[in-house]
Amino acid sequence: MQHDQFPADFAWGAATAAYQIEGAATQAGRKPSVWDSFSATPGRVLNGDTGAVACDHYHRYKEDVKLMAALGIKHYRFSISWPRILPDGRGAVNQAGIDFYQQLVDCLLAHDITPHATLFHWDSPQALEDRYGSWRSREIANDFAEYASVVASRLGDRIQHWMTINEIFCFTHIGYGVEQVPPHAPGTVVDSLKEVWQTSHHALLAHGMACQAIRTASPVPCSIALVDNFVPTLPIAETPEHIAAAQQAFHVNGTNGGIVEPALTGAYSPALLEQLGPNAPDIAEGDLAIIHQPLDAFGFNNYSGVYVRAIDQAPGYEFIDFPTSYPKLHMPWLFFTPDSTYWGIRHVSETLQRPDLPIYITENGCAVEDKINANGEVLDIDRILFLRHYLRSAQRAIQEGYPLKGYFVWSLMDNFEWAWGYDRRFGITYVDYATQQRIPKASAHWYATCIRENAIV
Ligand code: FCB
């Protein structure tokens, strides 16, 4: 491998999610998800935007797949909408929903693009919210496993790469947060931090039971991954003492020790449990074994990390606040931390001691203030700067022998950015929402060249 080259089998991809792009929210038998209800509630989403139409991908998927093929994208990560397949969350299967994803996947395969399907990217059926409060109930794990089985048995002949759940932290800890008005559906403010942790514990159980269900239902052997956005801790300097501090701090940073750690190691971090005290979730006998399923890959959604340094006093490390002038992209949380790619990968392999586990960057990208110029182009050099530096960090991880196998840019196109509606653009393709025209940005052409050269250009 030459210095600037990726391995010959490196998987270059792009990612999206159902609610963010599909639209057709009330068509062909689909019933509402919690995001339909949430976004229809005044004050929840910026400018009152909803995913009712989004990028109209449901009707335009052929054009979108063609666009991907033209850019040379070889792998596509999309999500399947639970309420399109099981409109009531459980029970009767909506054949029109199955048909849509079969057609989408057939179109991808015809263009030589490998499908990677996420089973849950936040759009849980409203029916289950009404029935038992979604993730507040342990029952959801059974329903999710049933859904996984329905999908794997009907689509497993053409999809061999499965991702169970996207970013447990976001739809549990931000969806049920106790201190702020939650910016994520369903937006329920529960009574205690313990109840919040119980929702993420239920999501971990759902992940574990879905892994088992997929293995049983898939007609052929397949690859199963969990996708998580744990926050990497970054040493302020790469010296042994600061690296050790970053590794120690990893377990108690945000929800790392209570989501990615039990999923990949079979145990919640003892340091985190001690910090949580009475707010730790109830863990029933056998739960950890269900949660700790064998995985074929791990998906790391990589945006920002946090810097850490070693200190003399207990606990031996300290988190460093971002100074007000620290470079940031067009989201309040999107600090420019390209080191987070390398360290995220290394933490999975080393800190969580899973060097055996192949890793994919399943999302990486940024929102910037895109403008169309007089020639009808979007020259997003800020996005190119961001992607180039994160990819260099990915390349460093590969060169040091860490098992990074592929990379999916977030996102193929601008889309419904949750509580920010259409105000924030993460795409390498510009979407004109009035006409649904797609305009590949400069970053899309740049990315296409990287794929062609199998290198950072
Ligand atoms: C991630 C989500 C994805 C998108 C990006 C910007 O947290 O998985 O849907 O919103 O952030």
Residue 237 domain-assigned (yes or no): no
Residue 6 domain-assigned (yes or no): no
Residue 315 domain-assigned (yes or no): no
What spacing in Å lies between the alpha carbon of 410 and ligand 1's midpoint?
8
pLDDT, position 51? 98
What spacing in Å lies between the alpha carbon of 365 and ligand 1's midpoint?
9
Interval 179-184 mean pLDDT: 79
What spacing in Å lies between the alpha carbon of 235 and ligand 1's midpoint?
25
Check if 363 is active-site: yes
What spacing in Å lies between the alpha carbon of 36 and ligand 1's midpoint?
17
Per residue in 151-165, pLDDT tens? 999 999 999 999 999
Interval 413-439 mean pLDDT: 98
User: CATH no. for residue 378?
Assistant: 3.20.20.80
What spacing in Å lies between the alpha carbon of 239 and ligand 1's midpoint?
32
Interval 222-226 mean pLDDT: 99
Residue 169 domain-assigned (yes or no): yes
Q: Is 396 a residue whose pLDDT tops 50?
A: yes
Q: How confident is the model at residue 259 (pLDDT cuts 50, 70, 90)?
A: very high
pLDDT, position 2? 54
pLDDT, position 178? 84
Q: How confident is the model at residue 65 (pLDDT cuts 50, 70, 90)?
A: very high
Q: Which domain holds residue 62?
A: 11-229+296-303+332-453
pLDDT, position 181? 72
Most ligand 1 atoms within 8 A of CB, residue of 78, 120, 364, 417 to mutate: 417
Q: How confident is the model at residue 1 (pLDDT cuts 50, 70, 90)?
A: very low
- Hunting for tokens 């999908």 — which residue is that? 151
Residue 391 domain-assigned (yes or no): yes
Interval 54-58 mean pLDDT: 99
Q: Which of 129, 261, 363, 417 is catalytic?
A: 363
- Closest Cα to atom 4 of ligand 1: 417
Q: Which of 167, 274, 369, 453 is catalytic?
A: 167
What spacing in Å lies between the alpha carbon of 16 and ligand 1's midpoint?
9
Per residue in 283-310, pLDDT tens? 999 999 999 999 999 999 999 999 999 9
**Atom number in ligand 1 closest to CA 303:** 11
**Atom number in ligand 1 closest to CA 20:** 9
Per residue in 90-110, pLDDT tens? 999 999 999 999 999 999 999
pLDDT, position 66? 98
Residue 276 domain-assigned (yes or no): no
- Closest Cα to atom 9 of ligand 1: 17
**Atom number in ligand 1 closest to CA 167:** 8
Residue 4 domain-assigned (yes or no): no
Most ligand 1 atoms within 8 A of CB, residue of 301, 330, 368 to mutate: 301
**Atom number in ligand 1 closest to CA 426:** 6
Interval 342-360 mean pLDDT: 98
pLDDT, position 269? 98
Instruction: Kindly state the percentage of the chain with pLDDT values over 90.
Output: 98
Residue 234 domain-assigned (yes or no): no
Most ligand 1 atoms within 8 A of CB, residue of 418, 422, 423, 428 to mutate: 418
User: What's the total number of domains in the chain?
Assistant: 1
pLDDT, position 164? 99
Interval 244-258 mean pLDDT: 98
Q: Is 187 a residue whose pLDDT tops 50?
A: yes
What spacing in Å lies between the alpha carbon of 422 and ligand 1's midpoint?
13
Ligand 1 binding pocket, CB closer than 6 Å: 17, 20, 166-167, 170, 229, 301, 363, 410, 417-418, 426
pLDDT, position 18? 99
**Atom number in ligand 1 closest to CA 331:** 6
**Atom number in ligand 1 closest to CA 227:** 8
Q: How confident is the model at residue 315 (pLDDT cuts 50, 70, 90)?
A: very high
CA distances from 304 to 81, 318, 335, 366, 430 (A): 27, 17, 6, 10, 23
Most ligand 1 atoms within 8 A of CB, residue of 20, 172, 363 to mutate: 363
Average pLDDT, the chain: 97
What spacing in Å lies between the alpha carbon of 28 and ligand 1's midpoint?
26
Q: How confident is the model at residue 3 (pLDDT cuts 50, 70, 90)?
A: low
